[in-house]
Amino acid sequence: MEKAKGKIRIKDIARMAGVSAGTVDRVLHQRGIVSEKSRKAVNKVLEEINYSPNLLARSLASKKSYRFICLFPAYQKGEYWESIEKGFRQAAEEFENYKVEVLIEYFNQFDSSSFVEAAKTVMKYEPNAVIMSPVFRQETLEFTHQLSEKNIPFSFIDSMIEDADFIAYYGQHSSLSGYIGGKLLFQSLPPNSRILILHTFRKGSSGAIQTENRKKGFLRYMEENRLNDTTELLSVEIFEDDDERNIKLLQKIFDECQGIQAAITFNSKVHRLAKYFKILSHPEIKLIGYDVLEENITYLKEDIVSYLIAQRPEKQAYCSIRDMSYHLIFNRKINRINYVPIDILIKENIDYYLNFNE
């Protein structure tokens, strides 16, 4: 279990408002000259974070502390979940002064038993709140039932289970993002197309909630546009960290099924498929995937990936900690379901997206 820590600082408020630290100081202490535009920007941030010197003083004087545990998949450098952790750690820094301690617990997203064991570890730490990514539906429901029995509030990021009693959700509208993926994929495709749908094998589970919901949205687009009778879908399951096996599997499919025009994967590993298609001399296949990973961006710029659909993971994680703090510390009403923008990225706009600092 790792700890993320820090505190709310004037420079954090300045960053969020897009002004200087000096401007924030002048607004807080009502001194000096500040433009009306800057004053409004600072006050908007102060309202959003519920900032108050009196509240901060009260929090510091209080003996009450809060332990939040963030439960999400382990990752390698450069993967999607690294951005999630970055958002958690940023929020931990900003809320440490309110006596919020943020701990991090990982599990293997390809093995449901790993989630079960991680959930047991979380309970041993007696958290005041849990923020989690519900990769495995049944196992997550069992865990949330335990949390509810102990009156421990929890929130979801990345995907949600609608019938669970969560405090807040931050993430994409998963089904709609899959629907949009379908709309993008079928643009310019000829009738009677063959399309690959690629999944990653998961032990002990039918599939991740996020990817399953995206697939449902994709299939809904096909149904609404009467594409089922004129499109052949080839569903393929590939394996994590086994390039040789996956390449052989895809080569067999290409040998047996001529005329594959497009492919889509509903997770962040589209770079892996792009690499395989390049090795197998099929860069012409229209390929769509999710998330702004460095490797995904590389293949997007090479025109091997046609579109990336992004979902602002750092923002999801940051806001989930922020809102849980509002809920527990200040008894503030928060929005329960918070959909992040569904960003559609191509090689011509990716650099602007990366360089823009919210």
Both 214 and 199 in one domain: the answer is yes
340: number of CA atoms within 13 Å, CB side?
A: 25
- The mean pLDDT of 78-103, rounded to a whole number, is 91
45 and 149 share a domain?
Answer: yes
Q: Is residue 40 part of a domain?
A: yes
- 180, 309 in Cβ contact below 8 A? yes
Quick one: 53 and 23 in the same domain?
yes
Q: Is residue 63 domain-shared with residue 131, that is, in the same domain?
A: yes
Query: What is the spatial distance between Cα 183 and Cα 324, in angstroms, rounded to a whole number?
Result: 36
Contact yes or no for 212/206 (Cβ under 8 A): yes
Q: Does 354 fall in a domain?
A: no
Q: Return the pLDDT at 58.
A: 55
Residue 132, in any domain of the structure: yes
Q: Are residues 297 and 321 located together in one domain of the fold?
A: no
Provide mean pLDDT across the span 130-136. 95
Same domain membership, residue 36 and residue 179 = no
Say if 15 falls within a structural domain: yes
- The per-residue pLDDT for 26 is 81
- Statement: residue 206 has pLDDT above 90: no
* 300-329 tens-digit pLDDT: 999 999 999 999 999 999 999 999 999 998
The overall pTM is greater than 0.85: no
Reported as a single tens digit per residue, the pLDDT across 5-19 is 455 677 778 888 888
Number of domains making up the chain: 2
Residues 214, 280, single domain; the answer is yes
- Please indicate, yes or no, whether residues 28 and 73 belong to a single structural domain of this protein: yes
Look up residue 30 and give its DSSP letter: T
Of 14-28, 85-99, 295-309, highest mean pLDDT: 295-309
* Residue 133 and residue 267 share a domain: no
Is 348 part of any domain? no
Tokens 């809904």 locate to 220
pLDDT tens, 138-159? 999 999 999 999 999 999 999 9
Same domain, 119 and 29: yes
CATH of the domain at 29: 3.40.50.2300
224/298 same-domain check: yes
In a domain, 353, yes or no: no
